[in-house]
């Protein structure tokens, strides 16, 4: 399923809450802050895109399960970028 997702699947959910499922219990709430297409797509391929999330604490870079009421559960490689004025930033890239 991940290979069929595009920026258009996520764009309507900017500003919404996703849950990052933690092994120790309560999920970490992440807000989808932006969804941006990256460059041009090769013929017949999907266009790369980036998702930027904000949360209130740091988790390590790794594959995490993110849950959303409409998109379901997604296994995504989440990379912490460091904090800004909105909280801890995380990025997910789809190539």
Mean pLDDT computed over 53-64: 97
Nearest to 52 by CA among 26, 80, 71, 73: 80
CATH 2.40.10 fits 2-94, yes or no: yes
Mean pLDDT computed over 72-89: 97
Whole-number average pLDDT of the chain: 94
Q: What share of the chain in percent tops pLDDT 90?
A: 82
CA gap 89, 59 in Å, rounded: 10
The pLDDT confidence band at residue 25, using thresholds 50, 70 and 90, is confident
C-beta atoms surrounding 58 within 10 Å: 12
Return the pLDDT at 41. 75
pTM of the complete model: 0.92
């Amino acid at each position: 399923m991940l290979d069929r997702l595009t920026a258009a699947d996520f764009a309507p959910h900017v500003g919404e809450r996703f849950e990052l499922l933690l092994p120790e219990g309560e999920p970490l709430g992440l807000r989808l802050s932006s969804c941006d297409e990256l460059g041009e797509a090769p013929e017949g391929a999907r266009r790369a895109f980036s998702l930027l999330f904000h949360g209130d604490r740091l988790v390590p870079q790794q594959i995490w399960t993110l849950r959303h009421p409409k998109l379901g559960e997604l296994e995504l490689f989440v990379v912490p970028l460091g904090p800004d004025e909105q909280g801890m930033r995380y990025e997910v890239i789809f190539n």
